[in-house]
Protein backbone atom coordinates (compact mmCIF):
# COMPACT_ATOMS: atom_id res chain seq x y z
CA UNK A 1 0.00 0.00 0.00
CA UNK A 2 1.41 3.40 -0.91
CA UNK A 3 1.91 5.71 2.04
CA UNK A 4 -0.55 8.55 1.72
CA UNK A 5 -2.43 10.85 4.07
CA UNK A 6 -5.80 10.49 5.29
CA UNK A 7 -8.68 12.00 6.77
CA UNK A 8 -10.59 15.19 5.93
CA UNK A 9 -10.71 18.58 4.16
CA UNK A 10 -11.87 17.78 0.67
CA UNK A 11 -14.61 20.33 0.80
CA UNK A 12 -12.49 22.94 2.48
CA UNK A 13 -10.64 23.29 -0.82
CA UNK A 14 -13.81 24.36 -2.58
CA UNK A 15 -14.02 27.38 -0.32
CA UNK A 16 -11.13 28.96 -2.17
CA UNK A 17 -13.03 28.65 -5.44
CA UNK A 18 -10.04 27.35 -7.37
CA UNK A 19 -11.01 23.72 -7.83
CA UNK A 20 -12.64 22.62 -11.06
CA UNK A 21 -15.92 20.73 -10.99
CA UNK A 22 -15.43 17.14 -9.92
CA UNK A 23 -11.62 17.35 -9.74
CA UNK A 24 -9.92 14.39 -8.11
CA UNK A 25 -7.00 14.95 -5.75
CA UNK A 26 -4.57 12.37 -4.48
CA UNK A 27 -1.85 12.69 -1.94
CA UNK A 28 1.70 13.76 -2.67
CA UNK A 29 3.58 10.53 -3.47
CA UNK A 30 6.76 12.18 -2.16
CA UNK A 31 5.41 12.46 1.36
CA UNK A 32 4.74 15.75 3.17
CA UNK A 33 1.77 14.41 5.10
CA UNK A 34 1.10 12.77 8.43
CA UNK A 35 -1.72 11.26 10.47
CA UNK A 36 -0.87 11.77 14.13
CA UNK A 37 -2.70 11.20 17.38
CA UNK A 38 -2.19 12.31 20.96
CA UNK A 39 -3.67 11.40 24.31
CA UNK A 40 -3.28 12.11 28.01
CA UNK A 41 -1.16 9.49 29.77
CA UNK A 42 -2.15 9.16 33.45
CA UNK A 43 -2.33 12.94 33.80
CA UNK A 44 1.46 12.96 33.68
CA UNK A 45 2.19 13.79 30.06
CA UNK A 46 0.74 14.00 26.59
CA UNK A 47 1.83 11.09 24.39
CA UNK A 48 1.99 11.14 20.58
CA UNK A 49 1.93 8.48 17.86
CA UNK A 50 1.21 8.12 14.18
CA UNK A 51 0.00 5.81 11.46
CA UNK A 52 2.61 5.18 8.79
CA UNK A 53 0.66 3.52 5.95
CA UNK A 54 -2.56 4.83 4.44
CA UNK A 55 -4.07 5.79 1.11
CA UNK A 56 -6.97 7.88 -0.03
CA UNK A 57 -8.59 10.01 -2.69
CA UNK A 58 -11.27 12.63 -2.78
CA UNK A 59 -13.32 14.42 -5.38
CA UNK A 60 -14.22 18.10 -5.12
CA UNK A 61 -17.35 19.38 -6.84
CA UNK A 62 -16.93 23.16 -6.97
CA UNK A 63 -20.51 23.76 -8.05
CA UNK A 64 -21.97 21.55 -5.34
CA UNK A 65 -19.59 21.26 -2.38
CA UNK A 66 -21.97 18.91 -0.56
CA UNK A 67 -21.27 16.35 -3.29
CA UNK A 68 -17.54 16.40 -2.59
CA UNK A 69 -16.26 13.14 -1.19
CA UNK A 70 -13.21 12.01 0.73
CA UNK A 71 -12.16 8.47 1.58
CA UNK A 72 -9.14 7.02 3.34
CA UNK A 73 -7.97 3.57 4.35
CA UNK A 74 -5.34 3.14 7.07
CA UNK A 75 -3.33 0.01 7.78
CA UNK A 76 -3.96 -0.50 11.49
CA UNK A 77 -0.69 -2.40 11.92
CA UNK A 78 1.25 0.70 10.86
CA UNK A 79 0.61 2.34 14.24
CA UNK A 80 3.87 3.74 15.60
CA UNK A 81 4.50 5.32 18.99
CA UNK A 82 8.25 4.85 18.89
CA UNK A 83 7.98 2.23 21.65
CA UNK A 84 8.14 -1.31 20.25
CA UNK A 85 6.42 -3.02 23.19
CA UNK A 86 3.57 -0.49 23.21
CA UNK A 87 3.08 -0.83 19.45
CA UNK A 88 2.82 -4.61 19.80
CA UNK A 89 0.20 -4.19 22.55
CA UNK A 90 -1.78 -1.68 20.46
CA UNK A 91 -1.85 -4.18 17.57
CA UNK A 92 -3.16 -6.94 19.85
CA UNK A 93 -6.76 -7.93 20.63
CA UNK A 94 -6.71 -5.56 23.63
CA UNK A 95 -6.81 -2.65 21.20
CA UNK A 96 -6.87 -2.68 17.37
CA UNK A 97 -6.78 -6.47 16.82
CA UNK A 98 -4.96 -5.97 13.53
CA UNK A 99 -4.92 -9.67 12.66
CA UNK A 100 -8.71 -9.72 12.32
CA UNK A 101 -9.33 -6.01 11.63
CA UNK A 102 -6.44 -4.90 9.42
CA UNK A 103 -7.86 -1.59 8.22
CA UNK A 104 -9.36 1.61 9.57
CA UNK A 105 -11.56 3.60 7.18
CA UNK A 106 -12.99 7.10 6.99
CA UNK A 107 -15.65 8.19 4.48
CA UNK A 108 -16.93 11.75 4.47
CA UNK A 109 -20.69 12.28 4.77
CA UNK A 110 -21.15 16.05 5.13
CA UNK A 111 -19.33 19.34 4.63
CA UNK A 112 -20.11 22.61 6.37
CA UNK A 113 -18.11 25.71 5.36
CA UNK A 114 -17.21 27.77 8.43
CA UNK A 115 -15.02 30.51 6.91
CA UNK A 116 -13.15 31.61 3.81
CA UNK A 117 -10.65 28.78 4.12
CA UNK A 118 -12.15 26.56 6.81
CA UNK A 119 -14.76 23.83 6.94
CA UNK A 120 -16.24 21.26 9.25
CA UNK A 121 -16.09 17.82 7.64
CA UNK A 122 -18.10 14.98 9.14
CA UNK A 123 -17.59 11.36 8.15
CA UNK A 124 -17.98 7.76 9.20
CA UNK A 125 -14.94 6.33 10.95
CA UNK A 126 -14.81 2.53 11.16
CA UNK A 127 -12.53 0.68 13.59
CA UNK A 128 -13.00 -3.01 14.44
CA UNK A 129 -16.37 -3.01 12.62
CA UNK A 130 -17.61 -0.14 14.81
CA UNK A 131 -18.73 2.82 12.71
CA UNK A 132 -19.26 6.22 14.34
CA UNK A 133 -19.47 9.80 13.06
CA UNK A 134 -16.35 11.92 13.53
CA UNK A 135 -16.03 15.66 12.85
CA UNK A 136 -12.83 17.30 11.65
CA UNK A 137 -12.11 21.03 11.73
CA UNK A 138 -10.20 21.71 8.52
CA UNK A 139 -8.07 24.66 7.40
CA UNK A 140 -6.92 25.11 3.81
CA UNK A 141 -3.31 26.32 3.93
CA UNK A 142 -2.55 26.59 0.22
CA UNK A 143 -4.15 25.95 -3.15
CA UNK A 144 -2.35 26.55 -6.45
CA UNK A 145 0.71 25.65 -8.47
CA UNK A 146 3.31 23.81 -6.42
CA UNK A 147 5.95 26.21 -5.17
CA UNK A 148 8.75 23.87 -6.35
CA UNK A 149 7.36 23.58 -9.89
CA UNK A 150 10.15 25.76 -11.37
CA UNK A 151 12.83 23.58 -9.81
CA UNK A 152 11.67 19.99 -10.32
CA UNK A 153 9.35 18.60 -13.04
CA UNK A 154 7.63 16.16 -10.66
CA UNK A 155 6.22 19.17 -8.85
CA UNK A 156 4.67 20.83 -11.90
CA UNK A 157 1.19 20.16 -10.53
CA UNK A 158 -1.67 21.89 -8.78
CA UNK A 159 -1.36 21.26 -5.07
CA UNK A 160 -3.49 21.76 -1.98
CA UNK A 161 -2.20 21.83 1.57
CA UNK A 162 -4.42 21.43 4.60
CA UNK A 163 -4.48 20.94 8.34
CA UNK A 164 -7.23 19.08 10.23
CA UNK A 165 -8.01 18.40 13.86
CA UNK A 166 -10.63 16.22 15.51
CA UNK A 167 -11.48 14.27 18.67
CA UNK A 168 -12.21 10.53 18.79
CA UNK A 169 -13.51 8.62 21.82
CA UNK A 170 -11.77 5.25 22.12
CA UNK A 171 -14.78 3.76 23.86
CA UNK A 172 -16.85 4.24 20.69
CA UNK A 173 -14.58 1.80 18.86
CA UNK A 174 -13.86 -0.94 21.41
CA UNK A 175 -10.26 0.21 22.02
CA UNK A 176 -10.81 1.72 25.48
CA UNK A 177 -8.51 -0.42 27.62
CA UNK A 178 -7.06 1.54 30.59
CA UNK A 179 -9.58 4.39 30.26
CA UNK A 180 -10.02 6.76 31.97
CA UNK A 181 -6.51 6.56 33.49
CA UNK A 182 -5.30 6.84 29.90
CA UNK A 183 -7.68 9.33 28.32
CA UNK A 184 -10.67 8.06 26.40
CA UNK A 185 -10.46 11.09 24.12
CA UNK A 186 -7.77 11.00 21.46
CA UNK A 187 -6.89 14.01 19.34
CA UNK A 188 -6.33 13.45 15.62
CA UNK A 189 -3.81 15.77 13.96
CA UNK A 190 -3.59 15.68 10.16
CA UNK A 191 -1.19 17.61 7.93
CA UNK A 192 -1.19 16.92 4.22
CA UNK A 193 -0.28 18.02 0.72
CA UNK A 194 -2.43 16.81 -2.19
CA UNK A 195 -1.79 16.65 -5.94
CA UNK A 196 -4.59 17.23 -8.43
CA UNK A 197 -5.00 14.47 -11.02
CA UNK A 198 -3.95 15.82 -14.40
CA UNK A 199 -5.46 13.01 -16.48
- Give the model's pLDDT for residue 199: 62
Count other Cβ atoms within 10 Å, centred on residue 178.
13
CA distances from 42 to 50, 120, 132, 178, 195 (A): 20, 30, 26, 10, 40
Which residue ranges make up each domain of the chain? 10-196
pLDDT tens readout for residues 108-167:
999 888 887 888 999 999 999 999 999 999 888 888 889 999 999 888 998 888 899 999
Neighbouring-strand partners of residue 58: 25, 70
Q: What integer best gives the mean pLDDT of the chain?
A: 85
Whole-structure pTM value: 0.84
Picking from 22-36, 39-53, 84-98, which range would have the lowest pLDDT averaged per residue? 22-36
Picking from 87-91, 110-114, 171-175, which range would have the lowest pLDDT averaged per residue? 110-114
Using CA atoms, how far apart are residues 73 and 62, in angstroms rounded to an integer? Answer: 24
* Among 48-57, 64-73, 74-83, the range of highest mean pLDDT: 74-83
Higher pLDDT, 16 or 152: 152
Overall size of the chain counted in residues? 199
Average pLDDT of span 25-50: 91
Which CATH architecture best describes the domain 10-196?
Beta Barrel (2.40)
Amino acid sequence: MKRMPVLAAAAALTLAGAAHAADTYRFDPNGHHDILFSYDHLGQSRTFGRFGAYEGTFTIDAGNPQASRFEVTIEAASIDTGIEALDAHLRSADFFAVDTHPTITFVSTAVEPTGEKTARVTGDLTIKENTRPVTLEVTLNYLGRHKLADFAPQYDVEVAGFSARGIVSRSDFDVAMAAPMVSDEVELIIEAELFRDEG
